[in-house]
Structure 1
Amino acid sequence: MYPFKIKTLLLASTMVLSMGTVTAQDGLVNSLKINASEKSAESFKFTDVINLANTSIKNQGSSGTCWSYSTNSYLESEMIRLGKQPVEISQVFSARNAYVEKGKNYVRMHGAVTLGDGGELHDVINMYKKYGAVPQEVYSGLNYGTTKNKFAEMAGITEAMLAAVVKNPNGELTPNWEKAYAAVIDSYLGQVPQNFTFKGKTYTPQSFAKEMIGINPDEYLEFASYSTEPYYKKTMMMVPDNWSFDLVYNVKMNDMTTIIDYALKNGFTVAWATDVSEKSFSWKNGVAYVPTKKYDEMSTVEKENMFNGPKEEPKVTEEMRQKAFDNYQTTDDHAMHIVGIAKDQLGKEYYVVKNSWGATNDYKGYLYVTKEFVKYKTTSFMVNKGGIPTDVLSKLGS
């Protein structure tokens, strides 16, 4: 997932993004203020129903690493659920290792696969399984004087380098390109520590993952919903940033909120990937919902009042959901972390979602997302097996 993807000529004229580069996050946040209401927070009255423990709000900076920030935040909440003292896990360590693997895959596929620094929820689990993990204080990725991630230059150089490798100028690839590629990444993000000391004890990334974090990566299942594929079977996640071609479980649209509700009610948070380019998603106001009218059919007053309090929503259908996905109206934009449920003043339930754009909105880094929005715009989500209803698990054969 990238910080955002462009779906309209209006956005395309104000923000330029190519699949191989990263645009500053400020451009994204500003773009999501288009329909912000100044007094939105006064018009919504949210009351917590479920509020599960999670760690502090982070800022991914100018990098397409939402997938790593959200899933590592999710793992930190898993530590809490398991009775452990949470540790801030290095998000850039997960990303760095994914970039190395993605580069290898890119060359094997002769360049015919997505590059860039986007990714998926499963990438963090896959990298955890293969490389382990390290604490943020040991590997921040801030290796060249910045205080926040700023990956555009690194992305430009590594893409050009891989393009040269794919051209195969020697007529036969040498093993040196992999070393050179990793060295470029490490020159920007820092070399990965083979051993490090944390709280007076020496670890390797593998031993830190096992002893300090202590999750079983095989316990985490990832889901999507496509009406075009058999339900309760594994299917390819059909989005560009699924560079590893991972398979996910395909469930019915209503199963998604059923699983998420069950997980939250039983103490499990949820890693969540979604489209955020809809005008009914407002980061500034911290609210996302499905409007009853298309934006271009709204009056000026209706547009101005999109976030001045709770709104009616249509009932999303599987046909609506699939059509939006097939027409590129639902795109694989962003990943976040669902940590609770709240009700508005009319009694409607929303998911409480933790983001990684800093504490810059009305709710200091969190937002409230309706269940209809989740049904309509989710691209994937991940949860521990223990947070999945038994009847769904039996259908999956898990």
Structure 2
Amino acid sequence: MKKILMKPLLAATLILAGLNSGYAQDYLINQLKNNKSDNSKETFIFTDVINIENTPVKNQGSSGTCWSYSANSFLESEMIRMGKEPVEISQVYTARNAYIEKGKNYVRMHGAITLGDGGALHDVINMYKKYGALPKSEYTGLNYGTANNKFAEMQAINQGLLEAVVKNPNGELTPNWIDAYTSVIDTYLGKVPENFTYKGKKYTPQTFAKEVIGINADDYVELSSFTDHPYYEKMVLMVPDNWSLDMIYNVKMNDLTDIIDNALKKGYTVGWAGDVSEKGFSWKNGVAFVPNKDYSAMDAEEKQDLFKGPKEELVITPEMRQQAFDNYDTTDDHGMHIVGLSKDQNGKEYYIIKNSWGASNDYQGYMYMTKNFVKYKSTAILLNKGGLPKDLAKKMDIKQ
């Protein structure tokens, strides 16, 4: 297969990072207590098969904006694929616009919809299409003296503000609530520039998106796999962070990895969303797999040796995947970026995953995830429709 080189990684300054939920945030803190393993790189020997060029690893700080970091990293790789010079897209500008739209939906739904940092991969495409984009140099979101994102105070204020709006103490909403809500966001993250200069040329967010980034938002599709909906048709992605109630394509479980494989072979990277609060997911070791034995049934030695070299995995079925989703064992708590394919010393294939928790683990911000883990714990994938296998695109009536 074609070998595509990766750009050098940047070192991150902070270890803390956030996911989509409070539970996942606590899980992450435990994961990052010891960021380097003692043996992973010695007992796992990976040989890259495909390694698609991507931009340096970022650190999302203490914010649940993984969806924005991962999908914007994906768009940056799309720029490289199209022969453009990549620019670091402001992840916080994307998140800021999603917060505005999310607040509107929250009020319209009388508070009966998710609020907070969490989001979905498609939010990045939707916000790009509606609001354009900014380079990070023009909108860092660090408007109150911190070195990295720290959004908890802002989100607590916004939660209280919108709850008061929904309670509607005057009996009728005024048009001022959206200005009050926006002003809180702008106070913490900064006001959006109407225009700015980048490399000597003046842009608005919309013209920057069109002329510099240059992607077509309509070229991207999001997919998942559920047994309780018809295959190859659209369905609402039933996860709490799908606050916009976007629809995705439903495919068979094995199609997920077939689609990712096809995309990588053709030079396309893939956005990934799924569950990382699993005993088989280790950030410090840089490996994610599905043990063939339940962790609670393992003895002390088995637990100790869990990441000491490749292990046999559980065979995943569509029914197992659906059950895990239905009983909340699989939740939508993190987003990352699939940038390649590798093999271990036994020939098993793993996807190369770029994370947004800084370059703090054994693999400097990257990790290796088995195909079984992807089949079992993915909640959605995002890719350019050009990366779809032609037969699957035809089944879904997607024109490539």
User: What TM-score comes out, normalization by structure 2 length?
Assistant: 0.93
Task: Give the equivalent residue in structure 2 for 1:293.
Answer: 293
* Structure 1 unaligned residues grouped into runs of 5+: 6-16
One-letter code aligned to 1:145: G
Alignment of 1:23-172 (within 5 A): 28-31=28-31, 37-172=37-172
Task: Give the equivalent residue in structure 1 for 2:216.
Answer: 216
Alpha-carbon offset, residue 35 of structure 1: 11
- Taking a change above 3 Å as real, the CA distance of residues 287 and 29 of structure 1, as seen in their structure-2 partners, is farther
Task: Give the equivalent residue in structure 1 for 2:191.
Answer: 191
One-letter code aligned to 2:202: T
Task: Give the equivalent residue in structure 2 for 1:3.
Answer: 19
- Taking a change above 3 Å as real, the CA distance of residues 35 and 300 of structure 1, as seen in their structure-2 partners, is farther
Match status 1:257 vs 2:254: no
Matched-pair contact (CA < 8 Å) for 1:37–1:305? no
One-letter code aligned to 2:303: K
Matched-pair contact (CA < 8 Å) for 2:31–2:282? no
Q: Name the SS for the 1:137 alignment partner.
A: helix
Q: Name the SS for the 1:163 alignment partner.
A: helix
Matched-pair contact (CA < 8 Å) for 1:94–1:128? yes
- Taking a change above 3 Å as real, the CA distance of residues 242 and 65 of structure 1, as seen in their structure-2 partners, is same
| Residues 177-223 of structure 1, C-alpha deviations (whole Å, 9 max, x = no match) | 00110000000000011100001000000000000000000000000
Matched-pair contact (CA < 8 Å) for 1:23–1:152? no
Alignment of 1:366-381 (within 5 A): 366-381=366-381
Matched-pair contact (CA < 8 Å) for 1:4–1:276? no
Alignment of 1:311-326 (within 5 A): 311-326=311-326
Q: Name the SS for the 1:86 alignment partner.
A: coil
Alignment of 1:216-365 (within 5 A): 216-365=216-365
| Residues 262-321 of structure 1, C-alpha deviations (whole Å, 9 max, x = no match) | 000000000000100001000000000000000001111000000000111122100110
Q: Name the SS for the 2:218 alignment partner.
A: helix
Task: Give the equivalent residue in structure 2 for 1:200.
Answer: 200
> Residues of 2 paired with 1:204 and 1:151: CA distance?
26
User: What TM-score comes out, normalization by structure 1 length?
Assistant: 0.94
> Residues of 2 paired with 1:35 and 1:91: CA distance?
24
One-letter code aligned to 2:143: N
Alpha-carbon offset, residue 41 of structure 1: 1.3
One-letter code aligned to 2:301: V
Task: Give the equivalent residue in structure 2 for 1:14.
Answer: none
Matched-pair contact (CA < 8 Å) for 2:36–2:360? no
Alpha-carbon offset, residue 363 of structure 1: 0.1
Matched-pair contact (CA < 8 Å) for 2:232–2:395? yes
* Structure 2 unaligned residues grouped into runs of 5+: 1-17
| Residues 307-364 of structure 1, C-alpha deviations (whole Å, 9 max, x = no match) | 0001111221001100100110000010000000000011111000000000000000
Matched-pair contact (CA < 8 Å) for 1:4–1:28? no
**Identity of aligned pairs, percent?**
68
Alpha-carbon offset, residue 34 of structure 1: 8.5
Matched-pair contact (CA < 8 Å) for 1:288–1:370? yes
Provide runs of 4+ in structure 1 moved above 4 Å: 32-37
One-letter code aligned to 1:51: N
